[in-house]
């Protein structure tokens, strides 16, 4: 037996049964002179000490005989994270095409902790009843059971299994009775998160760790107020905090609700705006997801994200249920401190009374969103989910996005947006919108979306005439309604170099025909420019570039801006940690706030794109809004990125926002604070405030207290 120890962050090669050294990061390369479709069975043994990593696995990069490649999920044998003794991991890959080459790696990277490995193996054979992909998670508190998932590999078939069994996991329950406590909107609080016992300060937007006080009313005494929720916000801004109710092992509550008095200043004047609360909803994880170093423990089933309308809720035994409180200050709100009280009520009794204060600052955010965004709300997915009422639900979705200061856009539009919707969105702050994706008009009007087409079709005269024939009459409608200055067209989604020459020619022709209409692309042009893989026109061939954040280069972005271009950036299912992203539920929600706020401002990106917000999986029916747990909801994504492209959830009666969306909103608002501070103090002075906490794209704080303190300093520079 040969054994190695790897600290997280390192990538090291292991070859348990061989004695020749291998390169760092690579266990072994397998090359096949006669490629075939024989299955691959691989895995090995490992033990861990405090492992919290993005990748803790044996991983394969597979190259097929036709030259195509695949890697990542489905080609990884994952060990359980945390601390454990020797543990076996095994999985199988049944290729659909002949395999020519396999590069095998073993990873403990992108996080913390140490791991030892032994007896790694890779075999080409059919299954013999192998038990693969074994994982165990607890269903608590929804049920006192564990869910065991695994697959049986027989022949060339992989039969997936899921079983429920009485729970064997041990979780310390909250203290006896009921505890009411608070947390920042940036904190991820699962149902199995305990209220802290030794904290001394509330974690609202004023910073500090969460604090809890036992509710004496649940054990016979008078109600006891938990610590206060303290918020501050500009006019035309929303700020949120969490109120959590935790039950001990022998306590369960039903019919819990919140009562919130109107916020009033010292003179008794009510806040012009709104204060509301929503129930936090929980969706299930699955084994095999790509984790994040800050993810909850592997054994936890439930992650918080959907936000449900206010209604009485249940708090299950030995668990925590969240409520989301949001204050909005209208443009005409008078500056000052407004106070109220949040009462946690059940069966006509007050369990806890929590002071709530909101300081309205003496300035307001601009009526038009300062940060250009393109978060895609897609008609095709709305039609599929709500075949009879999709237009009504679309209006709800548009308003939810506008409430979060995001443009209700769609880069993959196959038909132009309705003028009525654009006028409504413009009145509420919209700054940009796409008219059409540069793709052929689909033959099926009910198709969800069209990704792209080949160069021979896109760069033909027939396509150009058809596309511009649709564009011209619509532009006249935009001009007649004063909307033309916000419009752009999008095309060539992530396409490679083989498209560049045709794009150059099309762009020049479009600029001649439509000189005031910008074109944006996420093609690989920007990457090619940065890497030096340019062609004779140096990839300077469009108006707005939009590289993925991990490809973004400030030097080259400034080079393009000097030529009159714009450079946005985007995230999708990538990049992974240590880059910030909010595509996955496994990522801390605060990273969405960091991305749209501090990082976008620091790197001077001209806008932020994400595709898309309602990528609802086939088979997921609209959510029943009566409970806060959704055991039938399928968060699975074939890339292993749970809820990628889902920031809005389909309820039976409502389009539901999410915790991740609220943090994205807060990031956009932080961006506006930064712009105001920069105008007053100068960029260098503001960077000096930000850089200690946001040092680079891969080195930044996720601490809610530190970010709240930074925002407090920015507030001081923005008030009149």
Residue 403 clears pLDDT 90, i.e. is over it: yes
- Residue 388 pLDDT > 50, yes or no? yes
Average the pLDDT over 373-400 and give the result: 96
In CATH, the number for domain 178-364 is: 2.60.40.10
Q: Find all residues with CB under 8 Å of 128, minimum gap 6, and list them.
A: 153, 154
CA distance 185 to 305: 11
Give the span between the Cα atoms of 213 and 225, in whole angstroms.
Answer: 8
Nearest alpha carbon to residue 464 among 475, 451, 477, 455 = 455
Q: What is the pTM of this model?
A: 0.92
**453 burial level (CB within 10 Å; 0-12, 13-18, 19+):** middle
**If you average pLDDT over residues 280-286, what whole number do you get?**
94
pLDDT at 1 over 60: no
Mean pLDDT of 277-292: 89
| Residues pairing with 337 in the sheet | 359
Nearest to 97 by CA among 60, 125, 66, 73: 66
Query: CB neighbours (10 Å) of residue 394?
Result: 21
Q: What is the three-class DSSP state of 515?
A: coil
Mean pLDDT confidence for 242-258: 95
Please list the residues that pair with 235 across neighbouring strands.
364
Q: What is the pLDDT of residue 535?
A: 57
Which residue in 596, 714, 606 sits closest to 666, CA to CA?
Answer: 596
What backbone phi and psi angles, to 5 degrees, belong to 329?
-105, 120
Domain 4-125, CATH: 2.60.120.260
Kindly give, in sequence order, each residue whose CB lies less than 8 Å from that of residue 105, ignoring residues fewer than 6 positions away: 11, 13, 25, 26, 27, 58, 59, 60, 61
Please, where are the H alpha helices in 621-696?
659-681, 683-690
pLDDT at residue 543 greater than cutoff 50? yes
Residue 502's alpha-carbon distances to 442, 507, 567, 586, 629, in angstroms, are 21, 8, 21, 39, 50
Q: How many residues are given for the chain?
A: 720
Q: What is the pLDDT of residue 12?
A: 35
Beta bridge partners of 230: 357
Over residues 302-309, mean pLDDT: 98
Tell me how far apart the alpha carbons of residues 306 and 278 are, in angstroms, rounded to a whole number.
10
DSSP E strands in 330-392: the ranges are 336-346, 349-364, 372-376
Residue 349: phi and psi, rounded to 5, are -115, 150
Q: Is domain 372-623+639-718 annotated with CATH 1.20.58?
A: no
* pLDDT value of residue 170: 85
pLDDT digits (tens, 9 = 90+) for 37-87: 999 999 999 999 999 888 899 999 999 999 999 887 778 999 999 999 999
Each residue's pLDDT tens digit, 55-66:
899 999 999 999
Separation between Cα atoms, residue 135 and residue 163, nearest integer Å: 11
Q: 24 φ, ψ to 5°?
A: -60, 130
Q: Is the peptide bond before 20 cis (omega within 30 degrees of 0)?
A: no
End-to-end CA distance of the chain: 70
Segment (H or E) for 425: helix 419-427
For residue 630, pLDDT beyond 60: yes
- Spatial distance between the Cα atoms of 263 and 689, rounded to a whole number of angstroms: 32
**pLDDT tops 50 at residue 701:** yes
Question: Could you give the CA distance from residue 702 to residue 3 in angstroms, rounded to a whole number?
Answer: 35
CB atoms within 10 A of CB 555: 7
Strands 519-521 and 544-545: parallel
Contact 82, 297 (CB under 8 A): yes
The CA distance from 603 to 609, in Å, is: 15
Q: For residues 324-333, b (16+ Cβ closer than 10 Å) or e, as one string?
A: bbbbbbeeeb
Domain definitions of the chain by residue range:
4-125, 178-364, 372-623+639-718
DSSP 486: G
pLDDT-based confidence at residue 22 (cuts at 50, 70, 90): very low
**C-alpha pair distances (Å), 62 with each of 73, 92, 94, 394, 639:** 12, 13, 12, 42, 15
pLDDT over threshold 50, residue 24:
no
604 vs 636 pLDDT, higher one = 604
pLDDT in the model for residue 470: 96
Q: Which has the closest alpha carbon to 423: 360, 483, 495?
A: 483
- Cα torsion 401, 438, 502, 505: sign: negative
pLDDT value of residue 20: 35
pLDDT score of 197 more than 80 = no
Mean pLDDT of the chain: 90
CA dihedral 558→545→507→417, nearest 10 degrees, is -140
Q: Which residues contact 682 (CB under 8 A, 6 or more apart)?
A: none
From residue 480, alpha-carbon distances to 420, 421, 423, 515, 523 in Å are 13, 15, 12, 18, 32
Q: Percentage of residues in the chain with pLDDT exceeding 90?
A: 79
Residue 204 has what pLDDT?
34
Do 352 and 226 contact (CB within 8 A), yes or no?
Answer: yes
Residue 4: its pLDDT value, please? Answer: 44
| Residues 6 or more apart whose Cβ sits within 8 Å of residue 377 | 394, 397, 398, 401, 408, 409, 410, 612, 613, 614, 648
CA-closest candidate to residue 109, choices 72, 54, 45: 54
Rounded CA-CA distance 188/588 in Å is 7
User: Which pLDDT belongs to residue 14?
Assistant: 35
């Amino acid at each position: 037996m040969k054994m190695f120890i790897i600290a997280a962050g390192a990538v090291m090669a292991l070859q348990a049964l061989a004695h020749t050294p291998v390169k760092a990061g690579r266990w072994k390369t397998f090359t096949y002179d006669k490629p075939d479709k024989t299955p691959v069975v691989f895995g090995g043994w490992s033990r861990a000490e405090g492992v919290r990593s993005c990748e803790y696995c044996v991983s394969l990069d597979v190259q097929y005989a036709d030259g195509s490649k695949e890697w990542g999920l489905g080609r990884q044998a994952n060990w359980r994270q945390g601390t454990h003794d020797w543990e076996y991991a095994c999985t199988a890959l049944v290729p659909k095409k002949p395999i020519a080459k396999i590069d095998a790696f073993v990873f403990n990277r992108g996080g913390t902790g140490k791991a030892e490995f032994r007896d790694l193996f890779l075999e080409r054979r059919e299954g013999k009843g192998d038990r693969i992909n074994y994982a165990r998670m607890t269903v608590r508190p929804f049920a006192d059971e564990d869910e065991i998932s695994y697959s049986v590999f027989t022949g060339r078939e992989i039969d997936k299994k899921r079983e429920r069994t009485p729970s064997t996991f041990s979780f310390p329950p909250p203290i006896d009775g009921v505890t009411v406590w608070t947390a920042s909107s940036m904190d991820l609080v699962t149902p199995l998160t305990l209220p802290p016992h030794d904290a001394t300060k509330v974690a609202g937007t004023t910073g500090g760790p969460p604090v809890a006080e036992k509710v004496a009313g649940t054990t016979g005494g008078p109600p006891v107020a938990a610590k206060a929720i303290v918020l501050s916000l500009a006019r035309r801004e929303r700020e949120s905090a969490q109120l959590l109710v935790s039950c001990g092992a022998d306590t369960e509550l039903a019919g819990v609700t919140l009562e919130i008095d109107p916020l009033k200043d010292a003179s008794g004047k009510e806040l012009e705006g709104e204060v509301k609360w929503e129930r936090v909803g929980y969706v299930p994880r699955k084994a095999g997801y790509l984790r994040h170093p800050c993810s909850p423990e592997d054994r936890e089933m439930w992650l918080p994200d959907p936000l449900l309308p206010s209604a009485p809720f249940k708090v299950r035994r030995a668990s925590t249920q969240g409520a989301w409180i949001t204050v909005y200050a209208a443009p005409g709100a008078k500056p000052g401190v407004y106070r109220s009280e949040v009462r946690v009520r059940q069966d006509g009794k007050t369990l806890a009374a929590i002071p709530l204060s909101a300081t309205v600052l003496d300035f307001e955010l601009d009526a038009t969103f300062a940060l250009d965004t393109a978060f895609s709300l897609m008609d095709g997915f709305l039609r599929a989910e709500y075949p009879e009422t999709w237009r009504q639900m679309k209006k709800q979705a548009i308003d939810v996005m506008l409430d979060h200061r995001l443009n209700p856009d769609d880069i993959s539009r196959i038909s132009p947006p309705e003028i009525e919707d654009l006028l409504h969105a413009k009145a509420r702050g919209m700054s940009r919108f796409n008219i059409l994706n540069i793709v052929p008009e689909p033959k099926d009007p009910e198709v969800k979306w069209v990704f792209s087409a080949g160069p021979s079709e896109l760069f033909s005269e027939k396509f150009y005439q058809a596309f511009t024939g649709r564009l011209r009459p619509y532009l006249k409608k935009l001009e007649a309604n004063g909307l033309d200055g916000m419009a752009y067209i999008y095309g060539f989604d992530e396409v490679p170099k083989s498209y560049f020459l045709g794009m150059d020619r099309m762009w020049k022709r479009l600029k001649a025909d439509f000189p005031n209409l910008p074109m944006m692309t996420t093609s690989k042009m920007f990457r090619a420019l940065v890497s030096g893989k340019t062609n004779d026109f140096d990839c300077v061939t469009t108006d707005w570039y939009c590289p993925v954040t991990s490809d973004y280069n400030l030097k080259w972005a400034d080079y393009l801006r000097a030529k009159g271009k714009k450079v946005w950036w985007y995230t999708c299912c990538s990049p992974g940690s240590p880059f910030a992203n909010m595509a996955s539920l496994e990522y801390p929600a605060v990273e969405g706030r960091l991305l749209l706020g501090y990082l976008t401002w620091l790197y001077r990106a001209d806008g932020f794109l994400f595709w898309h917000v309602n990528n609802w999986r086939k088979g997921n029916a609209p959510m029943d809004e009566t409970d806060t747990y959704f055991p039938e909801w399928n968060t699975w994504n074939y890339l292993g990125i749970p809820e990628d492209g889902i920031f809005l959830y389909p309820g039976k009666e409502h389009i539901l926002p999410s915790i991740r969306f609220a943090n994205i909103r807060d990031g956009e608002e932080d961006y506006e604070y930064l712009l105001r501070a920069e105008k007053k103090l100068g960029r260098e002075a503001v960077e000096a405030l930000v850089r200690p906490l946001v040092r680079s794209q891969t080195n930044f704080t996720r601490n809610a207290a530190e970010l709240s303190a930074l925002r407090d300093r920015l507030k001081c520079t923005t008030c009149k």
